Structure 1
C-alpha cells in the first residue's frame, strides 16, 4: 500500500500582496549582487548553476544532470525585528525552499509552492518560524532562536520537472507583521482577484460563490487555488471548530472530485497539513467537510512514537497549529477533464470539546493504550470497555447477520445469478459483454469482484522501546497470550524500528480480543464468521493478504498474493522490496517456490480467481532500473546480461566508450564500475535494457503463476497509481488483467494507455477518519464514518460504470493498530472492523447497498 500519493501535494504559501503592518526593509539587488552568495550544495556533489542579475532581480539557475541536490543564494541580515519574509518569484520549479539561520547557528528550512512555470510574478510571504522537520546545525531541535542572521532561497532537484531549471527572485523585503489571524473565510468580503493559483486554474466571485475552474490534462499534478487571509495577516484561526466545511456544487456535466488541504507552515502534502475531499455527481451540491486535530496542548515530554500521526493534542505531522493556518488550498489531483465548481459558505463546524486532561502531563498520559489495544484518553461510539461489551457486540452482530443472511440475486460464487449465462469452464476467466469487461465465474455467470483485503485474525504492534505506552503490558509467559506473539521486519524508509535497527517482537491485539470474544476455539469460529460476514455484506472476494486457512473454507472466492524472494538488483532501492534480478535463473523459480509453499491447494480450487505477484514496485523513470543494474556489482546476473548485449552491439570497449563518452579500460572494468555514465550519452542503451528488464519481469511472473496454478488468472503486480504508458503496455502483453491500487474519491476518469483495452482490477482503495479513536485518517480522508460510507458508495458506482473494471478490493478489513504497525508506522483508521472485531455499521450498510444493485449498475439499468 502506498504511503503517500504518487505525486506529493506540496504546500502553497502564496499570499496576496497585502501591506505589512510595519515598514519593510528591502534587501538590495544590483548587477554585482552585493551581499548575495551562490552555493551549488557542495555537500551533495554534482549540481552546477549560477546566480546572476536580471531584470532587477536574481536569476538562480540549477543543473542536476550529473547529480547533486540543490542550488541556492544566501544573504546575511541584521534586522532583529522582522517576523515575515516577502519576495516575488517567477520560476520553472514546483517549489522553493526558504532558509532562516538563527542566532545560534541552526538552519530552519520551509518549502513553499511556486506553481511550476507560472506566467507572471507571484508574491510570496513566509512567516519567520522554526521548522519542526527540516532543520540542522546549532541545537538542531526545530526551535528558532532569534534574531535571524541569514536568509536563503534554495531550489532542490526534486522540484524541477526537468534536470535543469531557474527561478527569478526580486523585491526581497524583511517585514514586521503583527496582524491577528483571520477567522475563516467570509466569501462576501473575499477579493478573488487577490487569490493565487497553482498550475492552470482560475477563481472569480459570483454573488455568494467562488467559481473555481481547473483545466484538465495539464502537467502540473495538483492544480487549484489558494485561499489566503486577506486581513493583512499571515494566518487563519481555526480554533473555533473541529471541521472546516464548505458547500460545493459540481458545475461540470460529469462526475468530478474536489479536494481541500489545510496547511501550516512547512506543509508538503504529507506533513503539517490535513487533507480531505469528496466525489460529486454531475450537478450535485453537497457539503465537503475536512476534520482536523490540533497540536500544542501536550508538553514536549508527552510523545507517541512509531506512528504516522499521534493523538490529538500531541505534536504530530498531521495535527494542526489551528491558530497558524497559512493556506486553504482547493484543488484536484491530475484532473483528466476540465473541472468547474462553485464554493459557498466556508465555515467551521463542531465546536471543539477539548481533549482529556490526561494529555497535559506524561504522568497522566502513560499508558495511553488500554488492554484492548484502543486509545485510552478518548471516547467514541463503539468503543469497548469490558469483556461483557465484547460478548454483547457478538450477540448483536449475530442478530444482524440472521436478519441479513445473504444478498439476493447472487449465486454461490457471488456471480450474477439472474444475468446471462456463458460457458462454464470450472475456473474464473475474463469476458467483454455489452461493451464492458467482466469476470466469468466457474459456473459461467458474470462476476464483479467486490472484495476486501486481509481476511485474517491478526493486527499487531510492537512494544520494544515503547513499553510504557501500554496498559497491563502482555507477557510472553502468560498462557492466555500463547500463539499471539511474533517478530516484524521493518520496511525500508524512515520508520521507527528501522531507524532503531530493531526487529521487534509484536503482539496480536486483534487475536487477543478474538480469544476474549469467542473463547478458546476463536480461530475456527472467526474463520466461519468472516465468511458469514462476507455473504451478509455482499462481499464476494477475499482480497490480497487474506490467510490461506480462511480461503480453504471454500465459501468465498479469493485472490492470492505471491512474491519473488530470489536475488534482487543490489543497486535498486524499492519502497517495499528491491527489484528482482529477472535475468538470474532463480527469479522465476523463487515465485514458483513462494506459490507452492502456501497456495498449491489453490490449483484445483474453483474459488481461486488468480494470483497477484508483488505489490507497488518502485519502477522509476524510463532508465531507473537499468541505472540500478549499473550501480550493482560485477557478479549481478542482470549486469552480466547488460554487458553481453552491449558487447554484441558495440564489439570492443572502444565502441562503447565512443557512444557513451566514457573511458572504461575493458569490459571487465565496465562490469566492475558502479558509477553512472553520462545519462544523455547512454540514454538509448539504458532505456533499451530497462525495457528488457520489465519485459522479462512480466514474462517470468506469468510463467510462474501458470506453472503452479494452471487455469488461474495472472492478476499483475498492483501498480501504485497509474505509471507511465510504456510500462502498462508491457504488462498488458502478459497479464490476464491489469491491477492498480487507486486511492481516490472516484475513478470515473481512469484511462488505460491508447491501444489498450483489457480488464482491470483495483487492488486497494480506502476511506478513513479520525473520528473513531484513531489519529490518522488514511490516504483518502473523510470527516466521520457516515461520510466514509457515502464515499464508499460513490467510489463503487464510479468503478461499476467504467467499462474496464472487473472488480475492486477495499484496503483493509481490520483497522491498523492505533499504536502503529511496526512495518512502517501506519496507524490508519480505515477498516471494516475495529481492533475489537466490531464492524463499522456505516461501512457495512454501504457494502450491502452496493452489492444489492451492483449488477444492475454494471448493466446500465441504474
Structure 2
C-alpha cells in the first residue's frame, strides 16, 4: 500500500524546504543546522499499521557524506520511537523498517542490503495500533543537504533489493570517488612505506627507563601485590601495576590487523575481490572481507601477521599507549609486553528476558548462568599482565532513558520468576490486598492479579510508581551483584572493571556497582564529564575509567566521521590531546581507552558503522598529525595528574557528527 504524500506535510520548521511533492515521492532540502518535516498521516486510519509488516522507502542524495535519516513514530499516548538509518551518498538505498520493532525489544535492527547501521532510539515501545504521527528528518551537517524520498509504502513482506552495480571502493579498500591528502595510489607505494617504517623501528628503542615492565610510572610507587590493583593516595586514584608502580591507563581498543567490511548485501558497491581461496584466504571470514588484511598480505606476503605484530607493538609504544584495550587480537596480546584488559563473553541471560537483554534475574537459571559465565576467567587467573576484565559492554536495555524494568515486566504476559518475587515483596510490604489497593488506587482482587498483564498494566498512581522504582533497583542490583560475585570467586586476583555503560540513562544503573573494583563508562564527548565521574566515584567509593571515546574528521577517506567530529586530522590530534590531558586532571578517573586502532571500512562493519576514527587507515598508514598530538598527551599526562603542569586547554571546534 503506497502512502500518498500529496498535501500531507505539516509543521515544516524553519530551514527546511520541501522542493517537490508528488503522489509517491518528495524532495527535501535542509540548512546546515538540520531539521525535518512532519508527515500528516491523520488521513489514514490507525489500524492500517496492524495490517502490514514493513514500511519501506527509497532514499537518494548527493551530499558530501553519509546521510543520517530518521523515521519517527509516535502514538496517541505520546510515546515515540525513532529509527536512525545511515545512507551512503550517490547511490539509491532502499530502507525497510519492520513494524514489529516498535515493541522496542531491539536496539539494532537487521541490516538490509545497501543500508548502513539501523538504530532505535526513544521510549521503550510505541503502540502500533495507535500511531498518530510519523516524521522524516535528518541531523545537522557541515553544509546544506538535499535528498529524495520515494516509494513510501506499507508491505506485507520484505521488498526486493535490486541495485544497479556501482563500484564504491577501489582495490585497496579506499573510497573510490573522493580525493584527500594521504590517499594511497598503489599497492607498491603502500608496501614501500610499510617496509621502510618497519626497518626503521626494528631496534628495541622503546624503553626509556621511565616505565616498569608492566607499563607503570616509575616516579610513583606503592606496595606491590603481584597483580594490578587500585589505590587512592589522598589526592588521586590510580591503577597500581604488579610491581607497585602507578599507572594511568592510556589504552587503545581493537588492536588487531583487521576492520572487516560487510560483503553480503553490498555486492553492488564492491570491486572485484580476491578469491576466497589462495593467497588472500585470510582476508575472508564468515562476517565478510577485510581490505586491511588483504593489504598486509600485499605488503608482506606470508609473513604478514608477524610483521604486522612487530610493527604495531613498536608503534603503540612509540605513541605512548600503555594498555591493550577491549577486543584486541588475542594473538597480539599473547606476543605483546603491554598490559591488557579482557572483555568477557556471553554475559548471563535467561530463556525469557524482561526487556531487550535484561534477564529474569531472580530465577535460578540466572544464578547458574552466572557461574558458567565466570568460569572463563580460570584461564587468566595467574596472568600478571591482565589488568582486569569487563563483564560486558553497553547493556542494550540501558539505552532507554528512565526505563522502569518493573513496569516492562508487568506489561509482559510471561510469568517471570522476578514477577512472582515482586508479588511476594508487595505482600510483605502491604500485608493485605485492601491496604495495597488503597495505596495504589486500584481494585485488584488478589496480588496474583499482577500475573495478568492486561490487569497489571492499567491504572496506578505515585505510590505504584514508587514501588515499581524500588523493585526496579532491586532487580538491577541483582543483575550486577550475582555475576560479579561469581567472577570474584572464580578469579580473586584481577580487577572487575564493570560493564562499560554507554551513558547513565538512569541513576538506578548504579545499583550494585559497589561490586566492581572500577566503574567503567563510555564517554563520547569533547572532554570527560568531570561532574558525572565525581558523582559516581563518590557514591560507589570506587575509581572510574572510560572504556571508549573517539574523534573523526572530514578531511580523509571515509564518508562518516563518528560520534564526535572535527574538521581535520590536525584537529583530531588536538581533540585527543585535550581529552587525555583533561582526563588526567580528574582525580577519580584512572584511565581512558580510545576506540579504535583502525579506521572502519567504507561499506561498514557487520552492523554498518563506517567511521573515520582510526589511528591508521585501510592501507596501514598512520594519520601523522593525529599521532604527534597523541604522543604529546601521553608525555604530559603524569605531569598533569600530579599537578606539575596544567592540562591542555585548546579544544578544537567540533563539526556535526555522522554517527548513527
Q: Normalised by the size of structure 1, how large is the TM-score? A: 0.57
1:306 aligns with one of 111, 115, 119: 115
Q: Which has the larger radius of gyration?
A: 1
Alpha-carbon offset, residue 317 of structure 1: 6.3
Aligned to 1:247: none
Match of 2:343 in 1: 561
Q: Does residue 741 in structure 1 map to residue 522 in structure 2?
A: yes
Q: 1:783 offset after TM fit, Å?
A: 0.6
Distance 1:406 1:442, change over 3 A: same
1:452-851 maps to which residues of 2 (within 5 A)?
Answer: 452-476=252-276, 478-487=277-286, 505-562=287-344, 563-567=346-350, 570-573=353-356, 578-594=357-373, 596-597=375-376, 600-617=378-395, 618-619=397-398, 620=400, 624-651=404-431, 653=433, 655-664=435-444, 666-673=446-453, 676-680=457-461, 681-728=463-510, 730-747=511-528, 749-751=530-532, 752-753=534-535, 755-756=538-539, 757-823=541-607, 825-851=608-634
> Are residues 1:386 and 2:186 paired?
yes
The aligned residue for residue 322 of structure 1 is 144
Q: Structure 2: which 5+ runs fail to align?
A: 29-36, 41-61, 73-79, 96-112, 119-136, 148-162, 646-660
Residue 506 of structure 1 aligns to a residue in which SS?
coil
**1:564–1:587: 8 Å Cα contact kept in structure 2?**
no
Over residues 365-419 of structure 1, what are the superposed CA-to-partner deviations in whole Å (9 max), with x where a residue is unaligned?
A: 81111222211112223333333223212123225535893263111211112x1
User: Contact 2:266–2:603 at 8 Å: present in 1 too?
Assistant: no
Question: Quick one: distance in 1 between partners of 2:64 and 2:414?
Answer: 58
Aligned to 2:45: none
Match of 1:104 in 2: 6
Matches of 2:140 and 2:83, distance apart in 1: 6
Q: CA deviation at 1:818?
A: 1.1
What is the rounded CA distance, in whole Å, between the counterparts of 2:368 and 2:88 in structure 1?
A: 51
Tell me the alpha carbon deviations over residues 673-701 of structure 1, each in whole angstroms, 9 at most, x when there is no partner.
26623342521221111010111122123
Query: Against the structure 1 CA distance between its residues 831 and 536, is the aligned structure 2 distance closer, same or farther, given a 3 Å change threshold?
Result: same
In 2, Cα distance between equivalents of 1:103 and 1:634: 40
**Structure 1 pair 799/127, CA: closer, same or farther in 2 (3 Å)?**
closer
Please identify, of 584-593 and 800-809, the stretch whose mean Cα deviation from structure 2 is larger: 584-593
Q: 1:395 to 1:690 in 2, by over 3 A?
A: same
Query: Does residue 1:425 correspond to 2:225, yes or no?
Result: yes
Q: Does the 8 Å CA contact 2:361/2:475 hold for their aligned counterparts? A: yes
Report the equivalent of 2:201.
401
1:306 partner SS: coil
Distance 1:323 1:567 in 2: 46
What residue number does 1:854 align with?
637
Choose between structure 1 and 2: higher helix proportion.
2
1:245-297 CA-partner distances (Å, limit 9, x unpaired)? xxxxxxxxxxxxxxxxx9999999x99999xxxxxxxxxxxxxxxxxx997xx
Change (3 A) 1:634 1:851: same
- Give the CA deviation at 1:521: 3.4
The DSSP-based 3-state class of the residue aligned with 2:261 is strand
Report SS of the residue matched to 1:529: helix
Q: Do the aligned partners of 1:374 and 1:818 also contact (CA within 8 Å) in 2?
A: yes
Q: 1:585 to 1:367 in 2, by over 3 A?
A: same
* 1-structure distance, mates of 2:11, 2:569: 37
Post-superposition CA distance 1:97-152 (Å, at most 9, x none): xxxx9983544665x5xxxxxxxxxxxx4655169xxx9xx8453348xxxxxx99
Q: Matches of 1:153 and 1:479 in 2, distance apart?
A: 53
Structure 1 pair 384/593, CA: closer, same or farther in 2 (3 Å)? farther
For the 8 Å contact 1:816–1:827, the answer to whether it is kept is: yes
Q: Distance in 2 between matches of 1:554 and 1:294?
A: 38
Q: CA deviation at 1:451?
A: 0.2
Residue 510 of structure 1: SS of its match in structure 2? helix
Alignment deviations for residues 823-847 of structure 1 (CA, whole Å, 9 cap, x no partner): 2x21100011222222221232222
Q: Which has the higher mean CA deviation after the structures are superposed, 642-651 or 834-843?
A: 642-651
The 3-state SS of whatever aligns with 1:424 is coil
Residues 141, 706 of structure 1: alpha-carbon distance in 2 compared, 3 angstrom cutoff: farther
Separation in 1, partners of 2:520, 2:93: 45
Contact 2:480 2:513 (8 Å CA) reproduced: no
**Deviation of the 1:473 alpha carbon:** 3.3
Which of 432, 440, 464 does residue 240 from structure 2 map onto? 440
Matched residues in 2 for 1:429 and 1:265: separation?
Answer: 45
Indicate the structure whose relative CO is greater, using CA pairs within 8 Å and at least 6 residues apart.
2
Q: Could you tell me which residue of structure 2 aligns to residue 352 of structure 1? A: none
- C-alpha displacement at 1:766, in angstroms? 0.6
Retained in 1: the 8 A contact 2:348–2:373? yes
Given that residues 570 and 629 in structure 1 are in contact (C-alpha distance below 8 angstroms), is that contact kept between their aligned partners in structure 2?
A: no
Instruction: Give the superposition deviation at 1:778.
Output: 0.8
C-alpha distance in structure 1 between counterparts of 2:226 and 2:368, whole Å: 27
Q: TM-score, normalised by structure 2?
A: 0.73
Task: Give the length in aligned residue pairs.
Answer: 547
The aligned residue for residue 200 of structure 1 is: none
In structure 2, the partner of 1:142 is: 26
Find out whether 1:411 has 2:233 as its counterpart.
no
Checking the alignment, whether the CA contact within 8 Å between 1:564 and 1:588 is kept in structure 2 is no
- How many angstroms does 1:465 deviate by? 2.7
Using the TM superposition, give the Cα deviation of residue 434 of structure 1 relative to its aligned residue in structure 2, in angstroms: 4.8
Cα distance between partner residues in 2 of 1:263 and 1:299: 14
Contact 2:85 2:115 in 1 (8 A): no
CA distance in 2, matches of 1:426, 1:471: 52
